[in-house]
Amino acid sequence: VLILVRSPLPRLRALLQRCWGRLERGLWPGALGGQSPPWGPVLAVQGPALVPQGINDAGESSAAAPSLLESVLWMAAPKQRRTIEMNRSRRRHPSKLIEMKRNIDVCPECGNLKQKHVLCGYCYAKVKEETRLVRMEIYKKEGGPFNAPTVETVVLYEGEKPTEKDAGKRIIERARRRPSWFVQN
Amino acid sequence: SGAAWARGLLSWARPERWLASGSLFPLSCIHTSTSLQKTGKWEKKNRIVYPPQLPGEPRRPAEIYHCRREIKYSKDKMWYLAKLIKGMSIDQALAQLEFSDKKGAKVIKEVLLEAQEMAVRKHNVEFKSNLHIAESLTGRGRYVKRVRCHGKGMFGIMKISRCHYFVKLVEGPPPPPEPPRTGFDQAKEYVQQLRNRTLVHTL
């Protein structure tokens, strides 16, 4: 069952009806696109000869938008599709290929590969791991941040005793054999 | 051809084929290349078996084919790495890839190590260093299109590209590189072409 409900605002309805009537009769140009004449500033001039100039000035002063569209014609754009042969010659040019590296050597300590001007990655990782464990021991001894003592630190491994040189220094014990690369003193 | 088509239809509609699988809708009748994992041609190249060699023949070097599929990398970028290691010995190739900054270098290094392992275990290669890279290729994997958001509500469609990498290792030292073509070689070829000219359709 379809029920028509009348709007409770008769005045609003009357206003809308009047607006719609105006639109249909064409008394409200500009609401529907393309039917109204273009609006622009109009020069009120006394004299007959200035009318054509007035139209030109009005056209130029109101036509600020077309200059952007005109500049599009001067944008750089490819004229022809680049053939696959041209593309391949560019992509495979010797300057674009990866160069072979001639600075790779063998690390004398561990036997892994290393670059000549860079530390050996394996040895560096080994030292980094040991340093991390020493730092953990230090943290356990200190118990928190900002507790670093004002004396030097000495790391001693299994079976090592502090000498006279390590008299006033802080001693960190590590429960393992001394690594060959960590020279004492 | 009409009879063959009808026979083909009937052969598909044979009830014993349907009952053999034991279900109402057997998937074994439907074959689609995209859904099923079918082995590629490169993987099948490892399965070829040559007849035994005669006593006088030179020893055929072992060939190992290996590949990796659907690597998340661009095939054009991967091609530069493949071109770098083409024709190198495997140790040299591994050294170059280890110190390359490209993302594909890590993947290719893994593939080469896998292939080396396979060669020693299954393909009767004696020394793992006595291998060289005969072929190294890249192929296009499956691309996926996604939306890329720009400003002002505009969007573009980007493609997420993947690639395959194929490598063929051959036993033995790498072949010596070809000497570059000199002007003298080009001149010799030109003179040979001139000498090969004959008169056609004559006595």
Give the tens place of pLDDT for each residue, B165-174: 999 999 999 9
Model pLDDT for residues B178-195, shown as the tens digit of each residue: 999 999 999 999 999 999
Q: Does residue B182 form part of some domain?
A: no
pTM of this structure? 0.69
For residue B84, tell me if it sits in a domain: yes
What is the pLDDT of chain B when averaged over all its residues?
88
Chain B residue with minimal CA distance to A91?
Answer: B76
Instruction: Give a yes or no: residue B44 inside a domain.
Output: no
The answer to whether position A136 is within a domain reads: yes
What is the tally of structural domains in chain A?
Answer: 1
Q: Is residue B33 part of a domain?
A: no
User: Tens digit of pLDDT for each residue in A123-166?
Assistant: 999 999 999 999 999 999 999 999 999 999 999 999 999 999 88
CA distance A96 to chain B (A): 9
Q: Which residue of B has its CA nearest to A120?
A: B99
pLDDT, tens digit (0-9, with 9 covering 90-100), for B38-88: 889 999 999 999 999 999 999 999 999 999 999 999 999 999 999 999 999
Residue A166 belongs to a domain: yes
**Crossing angle of helices B103-122/B75-85, nearest 10°?**
50
HEC per residue, chain A: CCCCCCCCCHHHHHHHHHHHHHHHHCCCCCCCCCCCCCCCCCCCCCCCCCHHHHHHHHHHHHCCCHHHHHHHCCCCCCCCCCCHHHHHHHHCCCCCCCCCCCCEEECCCCCCEEECCCCCHHHHHHHHHHHHHHHHHHHHHHCCCCCCCCCCEEEECCCCCCCHHHCCCEEEECCCCCCCCCCCC
- Asked, for residue B66, whether it belongs to a domain, the answer is yes
Q: Do B84 and A98 touch (CB under 8 A)?
A: yes
Query: What is the rounded CA–CA span in Å between residue B106 and residue B100?
Result: 8
Cβ neighbours of B98 in A, within 8 Å: 113
pLDDT tens, per residue, chain A with 185 residues: 665 556 557 788 888 888 888 878 877 665 555 555 566 666 666 656 555 555 555 545 555 555 656 666 789 999 999 999 999 999 999 999 999 999 999 999 999 999 999 999 999 999 999 999 999 999 999 999 999 999 999 999 999 999 998 899 999 999 999 999 999 87
Q: What is the pLDDT of residue A44?
A: 67
- CATH number of the CATH domain containing B128: 3.90.470.10
| Cα–Cα distance measured from residue B189 to residue B193, given in angstroms and rounded to the nearest whole number | 6
Number of domains in chain B: 1
Please report which confidence band the pLDDT of residue B2 belongs to, taking 50, 70 and 90 as the band edges.
low
Domain-embedded: residue A49: no
Domain that holds residue A141: 113-173
Name the percent of chain B lying above pLDDT 90: 80
CB contact under 8 A, A98 and B98: no
Query: Could you tell me the residue range of the domain that residue B104 belongs to?
Result: 61-172
For residue B151, being part of any structural domain is answered with yes
Closest chain B residue to A99, measured at CA = B84
Residue A54 lies in a domain: no
In a domain, A24, yes or no: no
Which of A113, A114, A117, A122 has the highest number of chain B CBs within 10 A, making it the mutation to test binding with B? A113
The verdict on residue A135 lying in a domain is yes
In a domain, A158, yes or no: yes
From the list A92, A96, A104, the residue facing B99 with the nearest CB is A104
Query: Does some domain include residue B21?
Result: no
Asked if residue A185 is part of any domain, the answer here is no
